[in-house]
């Protein structure tokens, strides 16, 4: 159930790695991807700029650590050196295990009257690998107006940490198109974000995805997702909207039963500070833009990734930058025989190819200093990566992008 019928090799590897690293996050992987605009859909940008000879080396923020995809698609979770084996998370003192069946029955008891089918659940009992899985429940619900897939996933996050903060943010419309999104605080201090969006960002199907993501003051993390079809992908739309409106989604996510389940999970490890958080990518990108460009949109974050949308009078063009402090071990995959090596050891690779949508092109200048410090700048002939081309070529030339990427200010704070 909820099978992914849209085959994207990178996203398949990412989902598999998330499942293995996090213990199983299938139900809410789309909602997770929508959070933290810069760290949400930016994986596609990094993937495309890292491709060299059909191999990729991608670094993503993921579940309290760095998920590293190396050439060949293998995945490891990079644990900060300050976190040793003795720092393994411990279950809550009040933990009581929940079975697979109890997760299913809890979800059914909290839904309106209707018919249920295709039920599956994952409890909190440790597996044979001594891992505590991510508890979840999923089923197909029909209230008489059409079958709809509904799923819930329960976890724990560091209170006040990066994951908790991103859960309390609506995604950036440049990456995730949606009809409505609202973040609110409940009486007990919990923060819930309700998103009314779509399964496919390019809207190639009418499948709607609505979700509620809730984080309590103590770090209990509940995500509820629903679709207006019997599966998230691969099944026809059965109704105009998913069955639960935003208020009902909020009530389901806030149900006390899920918090009891969360208490059986290990306490999350302290979140390390994200590398490159002091690189000020947005500030530098704005400062380095050629004159004569009007900035119509820009990212909210100012860490190691940023984007701007510019217009030179001929149409909007999206420009992105990714700054990575330590990528020397991936230099061989990123810079091939067609790359250039400057006198100071800096390597430069230029790529010009198709973008993610029809008639969209993507120009990229990838640079890496001799010490592994990497700056990648890409430009598109459209205002976003999820819409058709609005002009023939990007608003910046390769020469302009090269000059920007090689500017010394990227590393002036390092």
Name the residue ranges covered by the structural domains of the chain: 9-87, 100-262, 281-411
CA 283, 287, 290, 295 torsion: positive or negative? positive
Quote the CA–CA distance of 329 and 110 in Å, as a whole number. 50
Residue 36 in this model has a pLDDT that exceeds 90: no
Nearest to 59 by CA among 78, 72, 36: 78
Radius of gyration of the chain (CA): 22
Residue 204 in this model has a pLDDT that exceeds 60: yes
What the block records as the tokens of 132 is 């505590």
Quote the CA–CA distance of 352 and 400 in Å, as a whole number. 14
Interval 223-276: pLDDT, tens: 999 999 999 998 999 999 999 999 999 999 999 999 999 998 988 888 766 555
Query: What percent of the chain shows pLDDT beyond 70?
Result: 73
Neighbours of 238 (CB within 10 A): 16
The label of the residue with tokens 């994951």 reads: 163
Quote the CA–CA distance of 171 and 152 in Å, as a whole number. 20
Annotation: CATH topology of 281-411: Protein Transport Mog1p; Chain A (3.40.1000)
Q: How far is CA 143 from CA 134, 281, 330, in A?
A: 28, 48, 52
- Name the 3-class secondary structure at 209: strand
Judged by average pLDDT, the poorest of 229-233, 329-333, 356-360 is: 356-360
The label of the residue with tokens 């069955």 reads: 243
Nearest to 363 by CA among 408, 404, 302, 305: 404
- Name the 3-class secondary structure at 217: coil
What's residue 273's pLDDT? 62
Whether 398 contacts 365, CB under 8 Å: yes
Top-confidence residue, 2 or 316:
316
Ramachandran category for residue 27: left, alpha or beta (phi over 0 → left; psi -120 to 50 → alpha)? alpha
What's residue 171's pLDDT? 86
CA 125, 15, 248, 144 torsion: positive or negative? negative
Quote the CA–CA distance of 307 and 305 in Å, as a whole number. 7
Nearest to 321 by CA among 406, 390, 381, 388: 406
Quote the CA–CA distance of 15 and 231 in Å, as a whole number. 17
Quote the CA–CA distance of 268 and 78 in Å, as a whole number. 15
Q: pTM of the entire structure? A: 0.66
Nearest to 240 by CA among 210, 195, 202: 210
Strand ranges for 123-174 from DSSP E: 136-142, 147-156
Q: 291: Cβ–Cβ under 8 A, 6 or more apart, which residues? A: none
Cα angle 9, 13, 19; round to 5: 145
Top-confidence residue, 21 or 202:
202
Quote the CA–CA distance of 291 and 397 in Å, as a whole number. 13
What's residue 258's pLDDT? 97
CA dihedral 132, 162, 367, 344 (to 10 degrees): -100
Top-confidence residue, 9 or 193:
193
Largest CA distance in the chain: 71
Residue 81 in this model has a pLDDT that exceeds 50: no
CA dihedral 157, 158, 160, 166 (to 10 degrees): -40
Quote the CA–CA distance of 410 and 377 in Å, as a whole number. 12
Residue 177 in this model has a pLDDT that exceeds 90: no
Q: Which strands, in side-by-side order, build the sheet including 294-298? A: 294-298, 305-311, 316-324, 374-380, 361-368, 347-354, 340-341
């Amino acid at each position: 159930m909820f099978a992914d019928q849209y085959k994207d090799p990178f996203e398949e590897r990412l989902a598999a790695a998330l499942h293995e690293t996090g213990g199983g996050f299938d139900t809410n992987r789309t909602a997770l991807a929508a959070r933290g605009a810069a760290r949400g859909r930016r994986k596609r940008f990094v993937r495309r700029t890292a491709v060299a000879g059909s191999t990729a080396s991608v670094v993503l923020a993921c579940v309290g650590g760095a998920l590293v995809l190396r050439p060949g698609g293998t995945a490891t979770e990079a644990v900060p050196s300050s976190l040793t084996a003795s720092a393994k998370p411990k279950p809550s003192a009040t933990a009581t295990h929940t079975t697979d069946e109890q997760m299913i029955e809890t979800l059914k008891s909290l839904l309106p009257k209707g018919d249920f089918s295709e039920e599956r659940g994952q409890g909190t009992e440790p597996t044979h690998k001594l891992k505590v899985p991510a508890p979840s429940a999923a089923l197909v619900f029909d209230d008489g107006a059409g079958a709809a897939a509904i799923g819930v996933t329960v976890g724990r996050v560091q209170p006040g940490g990066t994951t908790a903060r991103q859960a309390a943010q609506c995604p950036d419309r440049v990456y995730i198109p949606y009809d409505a999104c609202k973040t609110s605080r409940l009486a007990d201090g919990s923060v819930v974000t309700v998103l009314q969006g779509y399964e496919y960002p390019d809207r190639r199907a009418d499948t709607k995805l609505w979700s509620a993501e809730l984080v309590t003051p103590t770090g209990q993390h509940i995500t509820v997702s629903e679709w207006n079809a019997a599966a998230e992908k691969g099944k026809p739309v059965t109704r105009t909207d998913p069955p639960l409106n935003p208020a009902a989604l909020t009530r389901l996510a806030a149900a006390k039963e899920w918090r009891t389940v969360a208490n059986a999970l290990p306490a999350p490890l302290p979140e390390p500070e994200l590398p490159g958080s002091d690189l000020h990518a947005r500030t530098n990108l704005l400062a380095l833009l050629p004159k004569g460009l009007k900035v119509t949109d820009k990212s909210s974050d100012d860490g190691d990734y940023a984007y701007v949308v510019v217009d030179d009078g001929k149409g909007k063009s999206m420009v992105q930058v990714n700054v990575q402090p330590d990528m020397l071990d991936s230099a061989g995959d990123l810079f091939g025989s067609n790359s250039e090596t400057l006198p100071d050891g800096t390597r430069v690779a230029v790529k010009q190819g198709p973008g993610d949508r029809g008639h969209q092109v993507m120009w990229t200048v990838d640079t890496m200093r001799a010490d592994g410090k990497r700056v990648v700048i890409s430009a598109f002939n459209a205002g976003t990566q999820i819409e058709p081309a609005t002009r023939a070529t990007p608003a910046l030339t390769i020469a302009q992008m090269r000059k920007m990427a090689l500017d010394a200010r990227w590393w002036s704070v390092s």
